[in-house]
């Protein structure tokens, strides 16, 4: 019905007396790679939490493919095709890498709460899990518990688990935070690969990543969007430069 | 790692070692009596006291030549107060060649044992077992549930209440009675039977309250005391035991509640010391024996006997006199049957009469209920023999003859061919 | 595994072992043989009854681990479901005895299971909304409520004397073979069969989508939501199934003892199953089996060895929690890498060396405890007791000094030998390339 | 009726105060360390026995001080050499350790003091009737118990709000992870808190042991109810624990005073129920019979509808 994958309308969120998100309107086009930037404390992660259903919204609307999703619990939002990663690694830490991916696949492949099927016997499921493992380059670490992975590996697994369910809208929260330069490059390459053909919304600090990856960029400052546009437009936007980018871009 | 190993080994070594320690010599020519009662956990003290009574009796009988030339050997079996655990140890006992088991704490355990012994005797007639019950007082056990393999040596709850209400009926100053009981079968029975008997014997007495409270869960009886107080009761009848009795009486004394308590278990192990002064001159109970009886009934040999026991086991008074009766009657029955075969002994014991220092006792054949004289007594100061070194002791206020304690039974005994 | 690679790992989860899978049919055939042969070795009536009880305890402990080990739900009230399931089975069995129903005795565990399930559904729904302490406390509250009700509703629970029944019924599946289930050995084989079936079923459950998601929800309920699962529903289903198997265990108990009392659903029973699962090792599927066997054995046997059995029980228990927090299964599994690589010989040698001071230490400790109990509880403390073949008079100081000396020497040598073992352990595992992290 | 209400009020508040003395220590331990200390009631019992023993040598008043201190020392030892050892393995391990401690403390008490109640008495100075109401005496010792409870609450409150250590403890009640970050020696604070908590339980034992009965089963009787108070009141809140204690004290006491059953209720609505009716057990169950288990019902309801408890600063 609409070409918007995701639509935020007059979205607001308060914690007690403080309003963190102050009326955000944003349309994410289908298939675009949209990056949200902003200074610390601007409310970027909160915005993600509102979209994905982790926090209830105070007012306003969130639409996924034209359907309202605000007020739904996270698992239902996920089933409607939106998947997210976390800024702080958030995995099934005692389970192996392979199991992490396989669990992320179960719902989308229709297994629901089945307790009469053996996962080991589901060929398609296991092949798909192997495929994603390969995609995120973790085949070698297949049977290692997630908690034992290196940081960069955990981030890769986080991305793998996020895309595994086949969601067409992917929310990534600072996927490269805390990575070295080479690790970041690899991560960007990985993100590019795995989100091909899907809608990507991403929070990012690293301007190199932002301008290398984004189709469009939105700038969130103190809970308000001050600009949305192509990387070039944002770079040229004086308000953004004053409010946020400062000399960093120049 | 080391320590893990240590623990694994500890378990193994422990079992190996302790099994060596405890199963030393077990002679074949003994009559084994299994004692199934709590020997660990919260009621271990009560079980332990009962066992010491039995050990003492066994020693006495053995030192006088035993029974048919055989010694009596007591085997302690810890049932942890659980009917299910009792069946486990019953099987263990049977494996060890035990043919007589005795138990007293808890009619529910006794009920389970009767059931299990019945089933066992039916399934293994050549290896039968007798169950001698010394303290489980549920009337059912010698009525609906009566069994040929079960003999009860304690007066049942109904008999005791009958004796108690006989005495109460004569007390003109009793006008308003309050019933407070633990919320389980025994408490329910005390409440029900007391109401029936009082209605019959003293229709003018008013029942001003009838309360059930959970077993062992009440920490502070003050609220119950205020209820009793506001009901205007002058007498409380209770089947409570252990802490539920001591706490009730103490809370009453603290609040200045002026009532008499008619109880079952005021003499129960540890209860007199827990009651202390709070129970003085107001706590009555009905039993077949109390430590002051040898003085009152002029039976010095029993006095010596009970003193010797108290000296031998400091901190425990001779309380279960019926255990003495039980062991002596068992001996007599074996000698009459000239056999230690349980079924022969059971036949001999049916209807058996025996002389005791306090009169003749009879094992009624109809239902295997022992008939013995009962005494209503009150906890008071200044008696010759005190209990638990409290300075307080029991003084008899009424004796009920054995025949007068007898009640009708509905038992339809199934006897083996 | 390098230091660096695990630095992001919160310290408390690092050594937690994965739920290992039991592979291959061999182990199941082995189990079957053990179940068949055991009563031929331990053939007395008491042993057979204990073995039967072990079967029931194994099912119960495994069902508990579906909650704690696999689902991350710490329950203080699991006995509610085995108990209620058992009572349902008991009433059905009585109805069968009265001729009101026709159900073969062999299916009573299923009846118990359905009973457990029926109660697990409502209780599970309200208690699984949250995990953690909230769940634990709700389970405690429900357990207390049900246990107290059991004494109030005497019609259903039979008050404190419980409900009894007769397992010898007219209709059985194997009656044509002359099986009556009167003799306890026949009951044992029935329980053994059910134990194997239930264990196998619970094992398979861990391999299903629900089983996997139960692990996922245990590890991270939030993430589970973001892969499309409702943690409440996952926990609820897992809980209900655990309730079913607990009921099966209850049904087995009913057949074994033919009596069921309110004790069966008391807080103590719930605590016991927690202890079984933990001592056995909640991180491994087979852990609770070991725990169930050990604890059942200790409970039924220790008390006939020594009046101090609760002290030993407490000591063993505290010792296990402190020094073997992954349970018996953890100890076994820690040796697997060494065994596989054939380096266990070195370890075994050091264990053999350690056995001597360990035995000495135990002799000392047991002597001290037994002497203490004798002094405290015996009516005539001066009456000598026999400890390890020595006549000991506990009122004489020299015996105490002797016991203390044995303990001290044992402890000193033990600690010294432990250093050797630790070294051997490190050598063996270092040689394995730090496979065990 | 007025009589009944007055007494239920007095008794309820007093019982509540006893519960509070026990649960305040557990609130500290549970909130800060996350340890479900199942042995808490065992420390309470230990306090009573210590007090009994000390009072046979030097009388009640020194025992009032010395016994809780001894219990606190035992508590500190347990934390330092046992709990800390298993801390890394999570809360279940800690919980099970305290579970095992229950057995050990029980058995040690059996060994030292035997299985019988000991004769631990109320000091003679306090053994008189304070006042009488509607003909029922109010023992002075109950007044003393109440007083100790109040003093304890005030002192604890002051320590927690006015001293440095108190502020750190309070901070870590609501944010256990934060204190570590602030650079305070958390293990030492843990030991301190555990000692304080068990010491408070010991004090409750000293006070209650002679009023009730000092015997080996007294710990079992108090065990689970303390958890109800702590969780009901809410983690991290001393005031919550106080209010919860009072509510639970009053509810149980008032329930005992009322002989109402569902059948009575229906009868007042004109619906007659007979003893033969379906589930008669339930309809004729009187409130006074279920009084002592009402706290558990309250607990379950509270956790379903408000998981952080009455005044909890965070969800349990």
pLDDT value at residue A100: 94
d(Cα C292, Cα C289) in Å, to the nearest integer?
5
Structure confidence at residue C181 (pLDDT) = 86
- Neighbors of chain A with 3 or more C-beta pairs under 8 Å: C
Q: Which pairs with CB-CB distance under 8 Å and at least 24 residues apart come from B318-321?
A: B318/B53, B318/B289, B318/B291, B319/B49, B319/B53, B319/B267, B319/B268, B319/B269, B319/B289, B320/B49, B320/B50, B320/B53, B320/B104, B320/B134, B320/B135, B321/B288, B321/B289
The minimal CB distance from B83 to the residues C49, C162, C370 is found for C162
- CA dist D175 and D313 (Å) reads 9
In this predicted structure, what is the pLDDT of residue D175? Answer: 64
As assigned by CATH, the class of the B28-155+289-372 domain is alpha beta
Quickly count: other Cβ atoms within 10 Å of residue C381's Cβ: 15
Q: With bands split at pLDDT 50, 70 and 90, how would you rate the model's confidence at B367?
A: very high
According to DSSP, the β-strands at A33-37 and A82-84 are unpaired
- CA distances A236 to A42, A54, A221, A232, Å, are 21, 34, 17, 6
In a domain, D233, yes or no: no
Closest CA to C214 of C118, C273, C115, C128: C128
Residue of C nearest to A49 (CA): C226
Using a threshold of 3 CB pairs under 8 A, tell whether chains A and B touch. no
Q: For position A250, what pLDDT does the model report? A: 36
Contact criterion met (CB below 8 Å) for D235 and D176: no
Residues 6 or more apart whose CB falls under 8 angstroms from that of B233 comprise B176, B177, B178, B208, B209, B259
Chain D hits for C313, Cβ within 8 Å: 103
The one-character DSSP state at C302 is I
More confident site: D165 or A46: A46
In a domain, A250, yes or no: no
- The rounded distance, in Å, linking the Cα atoms of D47 and C139 is 29
Read off the pLDDT of residues B34-80 as tens digits, 9 standing for 90 and up. 999 988 776 777 888 899 999 999 999 999 998 998 999 999 898 88
Higher pLDDT, C182 or C270: C270
Instruction: Tell me what the mean pLDDT of segment A36-40 comes to.
Output: 87
Q: What is the C-alpha to C-alpha distance for residues B235 and B207, in angstroms, rounded to an integer?
A: 10
- D86 in contact with C, Cβ within 8 Å: yes
Q: In the Cβ-directed half-sphere of D286, how many Cα atoms lie within 13 Å?
A: 16
User: Residue A27: is it exposed, middle or buried by C-beta count within 10 angstroms (0-12/13-18/19+)?
Assistant: middle
Contacts of A96 (CB under 8 A, 6+ apart): A142, A143, A144, A145, A146, C18
Domain, as residue range, for D187: 2-222
Q: Is C417 helix (H, G, I), strand (E, B) or coil?
A: helix
Task: Identify the sign of the CA torsion B182, B187, B192, B195.
Answer: negative
| D286 lies within 8 A of chain B by CB | yes
Q: Distance between CA B8 and CA C319 in Å, rounded?
A: 10
Which residue among D110, D134, D256 sits closest to B223, beta carbon to beta carbon? D256
Chain C 411-430, residues with CB within 8 Å of chain A CB atoms: none
Domain locations in chain B as residue ranges: 28-155+289-372, 158-287+374-404
| CATH code 3.40.50.2300 for B158-287+374-404 | yes
Q: How far is A212 from chain C (nearest CA, A)?
A: 28
Lowest mean per-residue pLDDT among A88-97, B47-56, B311-320, D70-79 = B311-320
Residue D285 has pLDDT above 80, yes or no: no
Calpha distance D70→D46 (Å, rounded): 9
| Residues C251-269: tens digit of each pLDDT | 999 999 888 888 888 888 9
Residues D215, B274: C-beta atoms closer than 8 Å: yes
Which domain CATH number covers A82?
3.40.50.300
Q: Which residues pair with B392 in a beta bridge?
A: B381
* HEC string for C10-24: CHHHCCCCCCCCCCC
Tell me D308's DSSP state. Answer: T
Q: Tell me how far the alpha carbon of residue C9 is from its chain's centroid.
A: 30
Kindly provide the residue ranges of all beta strands, DSSP E only, lying in D159-299, ordered along the sequence: none
Structure tokens at C364: 């000392």
Give the chain B residue whose CA is nearest to the CA of C326. Answer: B4
Whole-number mean pLDDT of chain C? 85
Does residue C24 register a pLDDT over 70?
no
Chain D residues closer than 8 Å to B254 by CB? 137, 139, 141-142
Reported confidence tier of residue B96, pLDDT bands at 50, 70, 90: confident
Asked if C225 and A117 come within 8 Å (Cβ–Cβ), the reply is: no
Nearest chain B CA: its distance from C89 CA (Å): 16
Q: Can you tell me the distance from the alpha carbon of B184 to that of B207, in angstroms, rounded to the nearest whole number?
A: 20
Mean pLDDT calculated for residue range D283-288 = 70
CA–CA dist D133, B121 (Å, integer): 62
* C contact residues 12-31, partner A, Cβ 8 Å cutoff: 13-14, 16, 18
pLDDT at C5 over 70: no
What per-residue confidence (pLDDT) applies to C1? 33
Q: CA of A249, closest CA in chain C: separation in Å? A: 32
Report helix, strand or coil for D227: helix
- pLDDT tens, B157-193? 999 999 999 999 999 899 999 999 988 888 888 999 9
Q: Is the pLDDT of residue C434 over 80?
A: no
pLDDT digits (tens, 9 = 90+) for D192-223: 889 999 999 999 999 988 887 788 878 877 77
Same fold, B28-155+289-372 and B158-287+374-404: yes
For residue D278, the model assigns a pLDDT of 64
Mind listing the pLDDT tens digit for each residue in B407-416? 999 999 888 8
The answer to whether B384 and B297 are in contact (CB under 8 A) is: no
> Which residue of A lies nearest to C435 if distances are taken between CA atoms?
A144
Q: How far is CA B71 from CA B57, B65, B68, B229, B336, in A?
A: 12, 8, 8, 55, 17
Name the most confidently modeled range: B2-6, B296-300, D40-44, D187-191.
D40-44
* Record: contact D103-C313, CB cut-off 8 A: yes
What percentage of chain C reaches a pLDDT higher than 90? 41
* C213 near A CB under 8 A: yes
Q: Report the residue of chain C nearest D281, measured CA to CA.
A: C153
Tell me whether residues C208 and A118 touch, CB distance under 8 A.
yes
- Flag whether pLDDT at B312 surpasses 80: yes
Please tell me which of the candidates C152, C162, C182 has its beta carbon nearest to residue B108: C162
Residue A129 lies in a domain: yes
Q: Please state, as a whole number, how many other Cβ atoms lie within 10 Å of the Cβ of residue B416.
A: 12
Looking at residue D259, its pLDDT comes to 67
Task: Please report, for residues A165, C212, C218, the alpha-carbon distance to residue C221 in angstroms, rounded to integers and kept in the order given.
Answer: 17, 13, 6
Between D115, D119, D137, which is nearest B256 by CB? D137
Inter-chain CB proximity B222 and D14 less than 8 Å: yes
Cβ separation of C137 and D316 shorter than 8 Å?
A: yes
Residue C235 or C356, more confident: C235
Chain C CA closest to residue B81: C263
Q: Are strands A216-221 and B150-152 parallel, antiparallel or unpaired?
A: unpaired
Using CB atoms within 10 Å of the CB of residue B382, give its burial: 0 to 12 exposed, 13 to 18 middle, 19+ buried. exposed
Contact C209 A112 (CB under 8 A): yes
> B15 pLDDT band (50/70/90 cuts)?
very low
pLDDT band at A245 (very low <50, low <70, confident <90, very high): low
Rounded Cα distance between C222 and C226, Å, is 7
Q: What is the pLDDT of residue B7?
A: 47
Share of chain C above pLDDT 70, in %: 92
Percent of chain D scored above 90 by pLDDT? 19
Q: Which two tokens stand for residue D280?
A: 């008669």
DSSP 8-state secondary structure symbol assigned to residue B387: S
Instruction: Identify the pLDDT of residue B368.
Output: 93
Burial C228-242 (b: 16+ CB within 10 A, else e): bbbbbbbbbbbbbbb
User: For residues C214 and C399, which has the higher predicted lDDT (pLDDT)?
Assistant: C214
Q: Over pLDDT 70: what percentage of chain B?
A: 93
Do B82 and C302 make contact, defined as CB atoms within 8 angstroms? no
CA distance C112 to chain B (A): 18
Residue B27: predicted pLDDT: 40
Copy the structure tokens of residue C370.
């037994």
**Dihedral sign for Cα atoms in the order B310, B314, B319, B323:** negative
Question: Which position has the higher pLDDT, C173 or C209?
Answer: C209
Mean pLDDT along residues A37-66: 90
Tell me, yes or no, if D5 comes closer than 8 A to chain B by beta carbon.
Answer: no
Of the partner residues C153, C310, C317, the one whose CB lies closest to the CB of residue D281: C153
Q: How far apart are CA A34 and CA A6, in angstroms?
A: 11
- Residues in chain C within 8 Å Cβ distance of A114: 208-210
Average pLDDT (B236-248) is: 88
DSSP result, C248-269? HHHHHHHHHHSEE-GGGGSHHH
Q: How far is C362 from chain B (nearest CA, A)?
A: 7
Confidence of residue C436 (pLDDT cuts 50, 70, 90): very low
Residue of C nearest to A144 (CA): C18
Is residue D141 within 8 Å of residue D212, measured between CB atoms? no
The verdict on domain C26-320 having CATH code 1.10.3470 is yes
Percent of chain A at pLDDT above 70? 96
Neighbours of C378 (CB within 10 A): 14
Distance of CA D241 to the CA centre of its chain: 9
Q: What is the pLDDT of residue C298?
A: 87
Helices and strands, number each (H, E), in chain B? 14, 15
Beta-carbon separation of B115 and C164 below 8 A? yes
Beta strand D136-139 with D129-133 is: antiparallel
Query: Do the Cβ atoms of D197 and D152 come closer than 8 Å?
Result: no
Amino acid A73: pLDDT: 93
Residues of chain B found within 8 Å of residue C319, distances taken between Cβ atoms: 3, 6-7, 10
pLDDT digits (tens, 9 = 90+) for A91-126: 998 899 999 999 999 999 999 898 988 988 889 999
**Do B121 and B151 touch, CB atoms closer than 8 A?**
no
Q: In 3-state terms, what secondary structure has residue A82?
A: strand
Cβ–Cβ contact C35 with A under 8 A: no
pLDDT beyond 90 at A208: no
> Taking residues A59-70, what's their average pLDDT?
92
Q: Which residue has the higher pLDDT, D278 or B385?
A: B385
How high is the pLDDT of residue C68?
93
* Torsion sign, CA atoms D67, D70, D76, D77: negative
- Residue from C187, C249, C359, C379 to probe the interface with B (highest B Cβ count within 10 Å): C379
Nearest CA in chain B to C163: B112
Residues 148-177 of B with CB under 8 A from D: none
Asked if residue D206 is part of any domain, the answer here is: yes
**Residue C15: per-residue pLDDT:** 34
The beta-carbon neighbor of D85 closest among C148, C314, C322 is C322
Query: What is the secondary structure of C143-190 as a DSSP string?
Result: HHHHHHHHHH-HHHH-GGG-EE-----S--TTGGGT--S-SHHHHHHH
Interface subset of D 276-295, CB within 8 angstroms of C: 280-282, 285, 289-290, 292-293
Task: Give the range of the structural domain holding residue A221, as residue numbers without chain letter.
Answer: 4-245
Instruction: Note the pLDDT tens digit of each residue in C314-328.
Output: 898 898 888 888 899
Domains of chain A: total: 1
Note whether residue D163 is domain-resident.
yes
The answer to whether D241 and D24 are in contact (CB under 8 A) is: yes
Give the distance from residue D89's alpha carbon to the nearest chain B alpha carbon, in angstroms: 15
Task: Please name the residues between 337 and 396 in chain B that touch chain D, using a CB distance below 8 Å.
Answer: none
> Is D270 touching B (CB cutoff 8 A)?
no
Q: Any bridge partners for residue A83, and if so which?
A: A170
pLDDT tens figures, C206-231:
999 999 999 999 999 999 999 999 99
pLDDT digits (tens, 9 = 90+) for D13-53: 888 998 898 888 888 888 777 788 889 999 999 999 999 99
CA distances in angstroms from C62 to C24, C257, C275, C399, listed in the order given: 20, 21, 12, 45
Report which DSSP code applies to B70.
B
**Which residues make up the CATH 1.10.3470 domain(s) of chain C?**
26-320
Residues near B309 by Cβ (< 8 Å), separated by ≥ 6?
Answer: B53, B56, B316, B317, B318
User: Which tokens belong to A46?
Assistant: 């909160």
The pLDDT confidence band at residue A246, using thresholds 50, 70 and 90, is low
- Is residue B13 predicted with pLDDT exceeding 50? no
Computed over every residue of chain A, the mean pLDDT equals 88
Amino acid C200: pLDDT: 94
Chain C: closest CA distance from residue A95 (Å): 7
Q: What is the chain B residue with the closest CA to C418?
A: B2
- Total domains in chain D come to 1
- Per DSSP, B206 falls in state E
Identify the closest residue of chain C to D30 by CA–CA distance: C133
> Is C8 in contact with A150 (Cβ distance < 8 A)?
yes
- What is the DSSP-derived secondary structure letter of residue D118? P
The shortest C-alpha distance from D49 to chain C (Å) reads 16
Using pLDDT thresholds of 50, 70 and 90, give the confidence band for residue D173: low
Give me the torsion for CA of D236, D242, D244, D245, rounded to 10°: 130
């Amino acid at each position: 019905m609409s070409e918007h994958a995701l639509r935020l309308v007059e979205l607001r969120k308060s914690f007690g007396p403080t309003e963190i998100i102050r009326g955000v309107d944003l349309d994410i086009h289908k298939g675009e790679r949209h990056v949200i930037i902003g200074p610390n404390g601007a409310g970027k992660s909160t915005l993600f939490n509102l979209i994905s259903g982790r926090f209830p919204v105070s007012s306003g609307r969130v639409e996924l493919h034209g359907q309202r999703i605000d007020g739904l619990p996270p698992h239902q939002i996920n089933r409607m095709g939106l998947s997210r990663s976390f800024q702080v690694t958030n995995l099934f830490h005692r389970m192996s890498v392979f199991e992490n991916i396989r669990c992320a696949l179960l719902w989308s492949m229709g297994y629901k709460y089945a307790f009469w099927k053996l996962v080991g016997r589901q060929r398609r499921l296991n092949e798909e899990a192997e495929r994603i493992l390969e995609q995120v380059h973790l085949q070698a670490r297949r049977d290692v518990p997630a908690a034992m992975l290196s940081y960069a590996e955990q981030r890769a697994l986080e991305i793998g688990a996020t895309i595994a369910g086949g969601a067409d809208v992917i929310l990534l929260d600072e996927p490269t935070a805390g990575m070295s330069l080479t690790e970041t490059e690899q991560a960007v390459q990985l993100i590019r690969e795995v989100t091909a053909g899907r809608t990507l919304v991403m929070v990012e600090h690293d301007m190199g990543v932002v301008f290398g990856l984004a189709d469009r960029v939105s700038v969130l400052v103190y809970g308000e969007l001050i600009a949305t546009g192509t990387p070039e437009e944002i770079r040229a936007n004086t308000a953004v430069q004053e409010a946020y980018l400062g000399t960093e871009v120049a | 790692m080391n320590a893990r190993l240590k623990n694994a080994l500890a378990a193994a070594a422990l079992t190996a070692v302790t099994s060596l320690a405890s199963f030393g010599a077990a002679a074949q020519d003994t009559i084994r009596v299994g004692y199934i009662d709590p020997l660990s956990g919260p009621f271990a003290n009560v079980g332990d006291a009962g066992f010491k009574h039995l050990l003492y009796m066994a020693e006495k009988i053995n030192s006088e030549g035993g029974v048919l030339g055989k010694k009596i050997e007591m085997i302690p079996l810890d049932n942890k107060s659980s009917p299910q655990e009792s069946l486990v140890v019953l099987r263990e006992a049977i494996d060890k060649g035990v043919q007589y088991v005795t138990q007293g704490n808890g009619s529910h355990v006794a009920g389970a044992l009767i059931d299990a012994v019945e089933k066992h005797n039916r399934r293994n007639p050549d290896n039968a077992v007798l169950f001698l019950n010394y303290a489980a007082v549920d009337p059912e056990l010698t009525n609906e549930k009566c069994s040929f393999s079960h003999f009860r040596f304690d007066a049942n709850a109904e008999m005791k209440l009958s004796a108690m209400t006989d005495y109460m009926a004569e007390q003109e100053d009793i006008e308003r009675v309050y019933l407070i009981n633990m919320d389980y079968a025994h408490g329910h029975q005390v409440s029900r039977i007391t109401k029936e008997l009082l209605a019959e014997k003293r229709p003018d007495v008013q029942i001003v309250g009838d309360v059930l409270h959970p077993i062992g869960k009440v920490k502070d009886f003050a609220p119950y005391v205020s209820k009793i107080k506001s009901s205007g009761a002058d007498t409380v009848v209770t089947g409570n035991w252990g802490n539920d009795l001591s706490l009730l009486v103490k809370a009453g004394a603290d609040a200045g509640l002026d009532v008499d308590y008619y109880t079952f278990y005021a003499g129960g192990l540890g209860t007199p010391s827990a009651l202390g002064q709070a129970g003085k001159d107001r706590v009555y109970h009905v039993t077949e024996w109390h430590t002051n009886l040898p003085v009152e009934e002029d039976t010095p040999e029993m006095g010596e006997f009970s003193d010797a026991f108290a000296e031998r086991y400091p901190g425990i008074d001779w309380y279960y006199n019926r255990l003495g009766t039980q062991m002596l009657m068992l001996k007599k029955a074996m000698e009459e049957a000239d056999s230690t075969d349980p079924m022969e002994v059971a036949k001999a014991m049916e209807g058996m009469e025996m002389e005791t220092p306090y009169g003749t006792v009879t094992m009624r054949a109809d239902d295997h209920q022992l008939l013995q004289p009962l005494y209503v007594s009150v906890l008071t100061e200044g008696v010759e023999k005190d209990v638990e070194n409290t300075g307080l002791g029991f003084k008899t206020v009424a004796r009920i003859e054995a025949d007068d304690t007898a009640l009708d039974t509905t038992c339809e005994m199934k006897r083996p061919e | 595994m390098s230091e660096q690679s695990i630095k992001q790992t919160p310290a408390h989860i690092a050594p937690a072992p994965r739920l290992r899978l039991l592979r291959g049919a061999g182990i199941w055939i082995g189990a079957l043989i053990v179940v068949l042969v055991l009563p031929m070795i331990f053939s007395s009536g008491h042993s057979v009854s204990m073995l039967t009880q072990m079967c029931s305890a194994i099912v119960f402990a495994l069902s508990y681990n579906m909650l704690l080990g696999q689902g991350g739900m710490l329950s203080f009230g699991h006995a509610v479901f085995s108990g209620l399931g058992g009572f349902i089975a008991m009433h059905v069995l009585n109805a069968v005895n009265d001729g009101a129903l026709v159900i073969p005795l062999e299916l009573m565990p299923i009846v118990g299971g359905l009973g457990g399930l029926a109660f697990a559904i409502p209780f599970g729904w309200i208690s699984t909304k949250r995990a953690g302490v909230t769940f634990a406390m709700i389970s405690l509250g429900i357990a207390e409520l049900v246990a107290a009700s059991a004494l109030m509703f005497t019609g259903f629970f039979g008050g404190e004397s419980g409900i009894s029944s007769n397992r010898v019924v007219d209709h059985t599946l194997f009656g044509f073979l002359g099986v009556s289930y009167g003799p306890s050995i026949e009951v044992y084989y029935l329980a053994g069969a059910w134990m194997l079936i239930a264990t196998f079923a619970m094992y398979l459950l861990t391999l299903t989508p629900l089983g996997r998601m139960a692990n996922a929800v245990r590890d991270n309920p939030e993430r589970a939501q973001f892969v499309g699962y409702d943690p409440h529903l996952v926990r609820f289903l897992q809980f209900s199934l655990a309730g079913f198997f607990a009921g099966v265990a209850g049904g087995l108990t009913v057949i074994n003892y033919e009596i069921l009392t309110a004790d069966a659903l008391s807080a103590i029973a719930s605590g016991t199953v927690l202890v079984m699962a933990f001592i056995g090792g909640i991180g491994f599927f087979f852990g609770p089996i070991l725990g169930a066997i050990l604890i059942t054995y200790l409970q039924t046997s220790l008390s006939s060895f020594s009046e101090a059995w609760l002290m030993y029980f407490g000591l063993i228990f505290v010792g296990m929690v402190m020094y073997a927090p992954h349970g018996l299964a953890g100890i076994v599994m820690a040796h697997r890498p060494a065994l596989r690589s054939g380096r266990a010989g070195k370890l075994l040698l050091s264990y053999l060396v350690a056995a001597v001071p360990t035995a000495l230490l135990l002799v000392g400790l047991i002597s001290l405890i037994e002497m203490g109990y004798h002094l405290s509880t015996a009516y005539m403390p001066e009456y000598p007791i026999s400890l390890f073949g020595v006549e000991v008079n506990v009122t004489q100081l020299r015996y105490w000094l002797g016991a203390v000396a044995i303990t001290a020497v044992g402890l000193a040598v033990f600690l010294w030998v432990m250093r050797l073992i630790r070294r051997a352990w490190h050598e063996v595992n270092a040689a394995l390339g730090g496979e065990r992290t | 009726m007025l009589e009944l209400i007055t007494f239920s009020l007095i008794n309820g508040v007093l019982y509540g105060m006893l519960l509070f003395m026990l649960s305040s220590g557990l609130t500290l331990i549970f909130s800060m360390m996350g340890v479900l200390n199942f042995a808490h009631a065992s420390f309470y019992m230990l306090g009573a026995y210590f007090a009994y023993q000390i009072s046979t040598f030097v009388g009640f008043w020194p025992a009032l001080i010395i016994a809780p201190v001894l219990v606190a020392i035992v508590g500190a030892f347990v934390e330092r050499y046992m709990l800390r050892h298993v801390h890394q393995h999570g809360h279940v391990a800690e919980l099970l350790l305290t579970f095992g401690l229950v057995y050990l403390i029980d058995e040690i008490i059996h060994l030292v003091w035997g299985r019988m109640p000991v004769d631990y008495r109320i000091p003679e100075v306090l053994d008189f009737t304070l006042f009488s109401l509607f003909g029922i005496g109010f023992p002075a010792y109950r007044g003393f118990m109440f007083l100790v409870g109040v003093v304890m609450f005030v002192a604890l409150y002051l320590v927690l709000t006015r001293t440095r250590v108190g502020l750190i403890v309070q901070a870590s009640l609501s944010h256990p992870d934060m204190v570590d970050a602030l650079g305070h020696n958390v293990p030492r604070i843990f030991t301190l808190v555990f000692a304080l908590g068990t010491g408070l339980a010991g004090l409750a034992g000293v006070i209650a042991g002679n009023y009730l009965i000092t015997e080996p089963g007294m710990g079992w009787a108090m065990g689970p109810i303390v958890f109800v108070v702590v969780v009901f009141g809410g983690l991290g809140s001393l005031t919550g624990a106080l209010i919860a204690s009072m509510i639970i004290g009053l509810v149980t006491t008032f329930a005992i005073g009322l002989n109402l059953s569902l059948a009575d209720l229906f009868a007042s609505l004109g619906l007659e129920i007979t003893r033969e009716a379906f589930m008669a057990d339930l309809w004729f169950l009187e409130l006074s019979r279920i009084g002592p288990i009402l706290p558990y019902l309250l607990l379950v309801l509270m956790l379903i509808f408000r998981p952080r408890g009455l005044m909890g600063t965070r969800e349990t």
